[in-house]
Structure 1
Amino acid sequence: MLHKIMNWQIDEDELDEYVWDKATAQFWLDTRVPVSNDLLDWKQLSDIEKRVVKKAVGGLALLDTLQSEEGLYSIKKGARTQKELAVLSDFTFMESIHAKTYGTILISLNTFKDIEEIYDWMNNDPRMQFKAQKVNEVYQSGTPMQVKVASVFLEGILYYSNFFIPLWYRGQNKLANLAELIKLVIRDESVHGTYLGYKFRQDFDALSSAEQEAFLDWMYTYLDELLENEFAYTEEVYSEIGLADDIKTFVKYNANKSLQNMGFGIYFEEATANAVNPIVMNGISIETANHDFFSQVGAGYLMGEAEAMTDDDYDF
């Protein structure tokens, strides 16, 4: 087999190099955000609130581990260009950073016993395992297009039920450092989702009308299965603090965003930005040193802060 050198002077797809530059420019590490500074806020939370936050962070750790170990490996098999492979390698590394970040959060705020309990929960909870298994089934045996859809749905929808809680506390000026780490993760996932949505669309547009129709039947059936489980998971984890309905709306809002990233219309007409809990939208939008999630790391990063995000930050 002939091995070809990666020639960065050739533009097979101009978005590859653009995303490479932006993704590498916003590189960060979990160790530079002092989560332990949130200990005072953490101690003031009720036991129920602590349990919910731990489940949110633990659930993210499980899904990001899956994405770093299986997801990007499967996506690479369907890469269209050599530069795309380089971009996906960056994504793989950052997914590992994200998975470690959740461990850093748990270690900074909890005892060893608490951490063992939450790891046991996320490794055995039926709803969490359903998410991981349904996505990994596609990663292991799906077509390149199906794999991209599974990845976009994982990063753009299934993460967001657990992103909600840190943003909700940030909107109330609590757990600021934890939330800033989550905002850094969201900034990365926004790039990943929009890039893979774009790559998916290139494949989708090459299909015949009949093939497109058949694929959409599969995609929306798959989406409904994921959402049914996601809404049940949300009820189980978040109803005891009265936020289940708000989180479902947030998930629907991000489902619309994920579909738009792949070039489709919105799925939930009612799930607009105005329908999302304003505390969470405020938690996303609090300004720091930089405004654009595609900007350089900058002073905001050096101080352990993330860039402000707006509704437009979910799309290229």
Structure 2
Amino acid sequence: MSESLLSKAKTLEPLYPNKSTGLFGGKSSGILNWNDIAYPHWYKMYKRLIGNYWQADEINMSSDIKQFSQLTREEQDAYLKIIGLLSTLDAPQTRTALLLSLYATDPSVQSIMAVIAQQEAVHNESYSYVLSSVVSLDQQNKTFQLGRQDSVLLERNKNLVEQYNAFVEEPSMENILKTMVYTSLLEGMFFYSGFAFFYHLARHNKMVGTSTMISYINRDELEHGRFIAELFRATLAENPEYNTSEFTDWVYTHFETSVELEMKWSTYALDEVEGIDLEEMEGYIKYRANKMLRMMGLSELYPEHVDNPMKWIRAYVDNFDGTKTDFFEQKSRQYTKTSDLNGFDDL
């Protein structure tokens, strides 16, 4: 559909009210009073996000340094491929969050997206940190090239890349909504087969430092996905002309395609790893897709996958239901602060 492009939100406009008249394309002074915002419960989301503060280099990697060479070749390959995947997704996510905030005319959204962008930057730093702990600089650089060179990873990311770049080139309401769809996929499904691999290693007492870091990233992504889904629903409610069967079909089509590509990627990365059940992983990917669709106000695509087939993962990270951190995580998942020597003093 043909439509006009949105302008970036004004930084300050005293003639406009403090409480925004619209999430995108509305009017706001730019002054943020958390006690006078259009969606009051988003203050709680903001507080949860900033409460998740952590730093990558405070996670103890000393045992991982010793263990990486003891992993099987297949486990090492999967480890590097998945770190390469995660870095490919988190680096552009920092910028995408900032770009969304530039067009948001609600200052509460701007602030929340700023926190999300900062956390994505920490996530990306953490991948450099863990790789520097376990492999040479040459291998680190090769791993970070995967997003540019690996054909399966390029195919998997193609649609996301196209949509994110379309938003940059044409910042329309439609592209903002579509970008939020892909951000929901990224935050709520794309990462998760990779997360599951690191939790699988931790179940067997392997690379526990890496899995601890992943659990903190995972916890952040759950909050990001929750907020983006709410922002999507609120934006659609404010702009009902986009809430059409055509757009809904677009969402379902891109979810289905993304699930197929995620399953292909998971098979490629994990097929030879001992103990990984790819059929179970397929169910988990479809379960995650259903979860995000429900949060976005849509129906499930995979009614046979409404329950989590990998319930053991709950021991490693909080879930969407708002359940408090469980006993296992409280006692075993708290990271140990180390010195700037990255744990090498333990060798």
TM-score normalised to the size of structure 1?
Answer: 0.84
The code of the aligned residue for 1:248 comes to E
**Contact 1:167 1:284 (C-alpha < 8 Å) held by counterparts:** no
CA deviations on 1:56-105 (whole Å, 9 max, x unpaired) are 11110111012113x21332245352011001000001000001111111
CA distance change for structure 1 residues 117 and 270 in 2, over 3 Å: closer, same or farther?
Answer: same
Query: Is the aligned partner of 1:238 residue 2:270?
Result: yes
Q: Could you tell which deviates more after superposition, 95-104 or 5-14?
A: 5-14
> Where do 4+ consecutive residues of structure 1 move more than 6 Å?
297-300
CA distance change for structure 1 residues 210 and 37 in 2, over 3 Å: closer, same or farther?
Answer: closer
CA deviations on 1:129-150 (whole Å, 9 max, x unpaired) are 2343321322232522111111
**Contact 2:219 2:317 (C-alpha < 8 Å) held by counterparts:** no
How much is the aligned-residue C-alpha RMSD, in angstroms? 2.6
Task: Measure the CA separation in 2 of the matches of 1:300 and 1:208.
Answer: 44
Q: Quick one: which of 157, 162, 166 aligns to 2:189?
A: 157
**Contact 1:59 1:122 (C-alpha < 8 Å) held by counterparts:** yes
Query: Is the aligned partner of 1:42 residue 2:68?
Result: yes
The aligned residue for residue 170 of structure 2 is none
CA distance change for structure 1 residues 302 and 238 in 2, over 3 Å: closer, same or farther?
Answer: closer
Query: Is the aligned partner of 1:254 residue 2:288?
Result: yes
**Contact 2:188 2:225 (C-alpha < 8 Å) held by counterparts:** yes
Report matched runs for 1:210-221 at 5 Å. Answer: 211-221=243-253
Task: Measure the CA separation in 1 of the matches of 2:229 and 2:313.
Answer: 25
Task: Measure the CA separation in 1 of the matches of 2:241 and 2:282.
Answer: 33
Task: Measure the CA separation in 1 of the matches of 2:269 and 2:105.
Answer: 40
**Contact 1:164 1:250 (C-alpha < 8 Å) held by counterparts:** no
User: How many matched pairs?
Assistant: 295
Query: Is the aligned partner of 1:67 residue 2:67?
Result: no
Report matched runs for 1:300-315 at 5 Å. Answer: 301=334, 303=336
Task: Measure the CA separation in 2 of the matches of 1:94 and 1:194.
Answer: 15
CA deviations on 1:14-46 (whole Å, 9 max, x unpaired) are 122111111111111101101232223323211
**Contact 1:252 1:271 (C-alpha < 8 Å) held by counterparts:** yes
CA distance change for structure 1 residues 78 and 269 in 2, over 3 Å: closer, same or farther?
Answer: farther
CA distance change for structure 1 residues 205 and 83 in 2, over 3 Å: closer, same or farther?
Answer: closer
Q: Quick one: which of 1, 20, 24 aligns to 2:50?
A: 24
Q: Quick one: which of 148, 157, 167 aligns to 2:199?
A: 167
The code of the aligned residue for 2:107 comes to Q
Q: Could you tell which deviates more after superposition, 230-239 or 99-108?
A: 230-239
**Contact 2:187 2:225 (C-alpha < 8 Å) held by counterparts:** yes
Task: Measure the CA separation in 2 of the matches of 1:44 and 1:227.
Answer: 33
The aligned residue for residue 114 of structure 1 is 139
Name the SS for the 2:303 alignment partner: coil
Name the SS for the 1:39 alignment partner: helix
Task: Measure the CA separation in 1 of the matches of 2:64 and 2:307.
Answer: 29
Q: Which has the higher helix share?
A: 1
**Contact 1:161 1:234 (C-alpha < 8 Å) held by counterparts:** yes
The code of the aligned residue for 1:267 comes to L
Aligned-pair identity in percent equals: 20
The aligned residue for residue 36 of structure 2 is 10
**Contact 1:19 1:195 (C-alpha < 8 Å) held by counterparts:** yes
Report matched runs for 1:191-210 at 5 Å. Answer: 191-206=223-238, 208=240
Q: Which has the larger radius of gyration?
A: 2
Q: Which runs of 5+ in 2 are unaligned?
A: 1-9, 14-28, 168-174, 338-347
CA deviations on 1:158-202 (whole Å, 9 max, x unpaired) are 111211110111222221111111010111000010111011111
**Contact 2:189 2:289 (C-alpha < 8 Å) held by counterparts:** yes
Report matched runs for 1:143-154 at 5 Å. Answer: 143-154=175-186
**Contact 1:61 1:99 (C-alpha < 8 Å) held by counterparts:** yes
Q: Quick one: which of 136, 154, 162 aligns to 1:137?
A: 162
Task: Measure the CA separation in 2 of the matches of 1:210 and 1:100.
Answer: 37
Q: Quick one: which of 97, 100, 109 aligns to 2:122?
A: 97
Task: Measure the CA separation in 2 of the matches of 1:21 and 1:281.
Answer: 23
The aligned residue for residue 187 of structure 1 is 219
**Contact 2:87 2:124 (C-alpha < 8 Å) held by counterparts:** yes
Q: Quick one: which of 311, 314, 325 aligns to 1:292?
A: 325
Name the SS for the 2:145 alignment partner: helix
Q: Could you tell which deviates more after superposition, 41-50 or 59-68?
A: 41-50
Q: Which runs of 5+ in 1 are unaligned?
A: 305-316
CA distance change for structure 1 residues 36 and 132 in 2, over 3 Å: closer, same or farther?
Answer: farther
By how many angstroms is 1:261 displaced?
1.6
CA distance change for structure 1 residues 114 and 170 in 2, over 3 Å: closer, same or farther?
Answer: same
